[in-house]
Amino acid sequence: MTVFERIKRSARRGASIAASIIRSIPVLVLIMSFVMMTVSVVIIIVSVRTRTERNVASVWGQGSSVSYRHLAVYGQGARSGGSFTPAAYTEYGKSLSLDDVSDIRLSVQGIVDLSNNVRRKASEKPDRPEGWNDCYSSFVDAVVTCSHKGFDIDSDVSIYTVGGDFKAFHPFEYLSGGFLPVDTVDKYQIVLNDELAWKFFSSYDVIGEKVTLWDKPFTVIGVVKEHDDLTPRAYVYYDCLEDQCDTGKVPAVLCYEALIPEPVSGASYYDLRNSVPGYDISSPSYYLVSITGRFSVSKIVDHMLPPGEMSVFTAKFDLPFWEVSAQRCIAQIFAWIVVFAVCLFVDICIVLTWWRGKE
């Protein structure tokens, strides 16, 4: 066999191998796309299931024939001196104060009473929700000091000031103790997250220990694990915040949450919206979100599209860590939805091309 014939045979063999590889490319792409679709579904399911707040409404409504919806209203606030200054009430229709919370409670209570065929005078309206539930909160950075084993430890801490039945809306994992009682027994009680408790005491068994916040001693009554980040964080009563505001200013409620019965799907959203003082439907200055069902595909797509629209709107608000975490989770799930959609489209194109080739 001549050199020329050997070259020819090698060329034919190489061409055959190349053709075989080219023919196998669609199959490989099909397999890879299917694998990515499976990975996308798994990640989406796991991401949703780790969001404990999605179950708050169903847990609250257990044993009831009526479903409930978990809703949140985020208002605006002004910080004159940065994150270490409490957010102050700005203006009607943009900010929420404790008086606004009282107005919302009266309005929602009236709606709930009407649906339950309960009649009472305005003067008989309860101070606390009956047949539904709510809570409110704000947050501010502060320096917390701990004296332990002869050492003074200072830490910049994110302080969440809460009122109402806060623990019903935020199902923490308790490492020791419990949460702040709904009825104030001692104004100067504090709950630490696991990151802060370990930083101060190298232990979670710290019930009864003292820390200093705003030049006052606070008694630790619980340690919670939040599963969100490693930020040192603590919880105190909302009443403590009022003492920290500048003279003449009213602290803003940055987040109001409610669990409202919903005999008709979607009705509670409009009930709460209509109960928020100064809410303007045409140009909303509050951020009202239904926590229940927010991780459905349709709600996630609606949140993310058009691109950037929601982030521009929410930039006006000082959002608590759980909402920031939820929005980050929504963005991640949306990215995997896009991956799934693209892979599905590729697979369909490959299958259709193969099918037409057989005809």
pLDDT at 11: 46
Question: From CA 276, how far away is CA 251, in angstroms rounded?
Answer: 17
Helices (H), 189-235: 194-201
Residue 57 and residue 252 in contact, taking contact as beta carbons nearer than 8 Å = no
Residue 84 reports pLDDT greater than 90: yes
Query: Could you report the per-residue pLDDT of 196-242, keeping only the tens digit for each?
Result: 999 999 999 999 999 999 999 999 999 999 876 789 999 999 999 98
- Report the share of the chain in percent with pLDDT over 70: 91
Residue 2 reports pLDDT greater than 50: yes
Mean pLDDT of the chain: 88
Q: Which residues partner with 164 through β-bridges?
A: 135
* pLDDT greater at residue 153 or residue 121: 153
Q: Residues 294, 157, 230, 220: what is their CA dihedral angle, to the nearest 10 degrees?
A: -90
Mean pLDDT of 125-146: 93
How far is C-alpha 256 from the chain's CA centre?
Answer: 13
Residue 258 and residue 136 in contact, taking contact as beta carbons nearer than 8 Å = no
pLDDT at 357: 63
Residue 139 and residue 158 in contact, taking contact as beta carbons nearer than 8 Å = yes
Is the pTM here over 0.85, yes or no? yes
Sequence ranges of the domains in the chain: 53-309
Residue 8 reports pLDDT greater than 60: no
pLDDT at 266: 84
SS (H, E, C) 97-147: CHHHHHHHHHHHHHHHHHHCCCCCCHHHCCCCCCCCEEEEEEEEEEEEEEE
pLDDT at 180: 96
Which H/E stretch holds residue 301? helix 297-304
Mean pLDDT of 42-46: 94
pLDDT at 54: 86
Residue 151 reports pLDDT greater than 90: no
- Report the share of the chain in percent with pLDDT over 90: 66
Q: Which positions ≥6 away from 246 have C-beta within 8 Å?
A: 80, 85, 88
pLDDT at 228: 67
Question: From CA 39, how far away is CA 34, in angstroms rounded?
Answer: 9
pLDDT at 10: 54
Residue 37 and residue 344 in contact, taking contact as beta carbons nearer than 8 Å = yes
Residue 4 reports pLDDT greater than 60: no
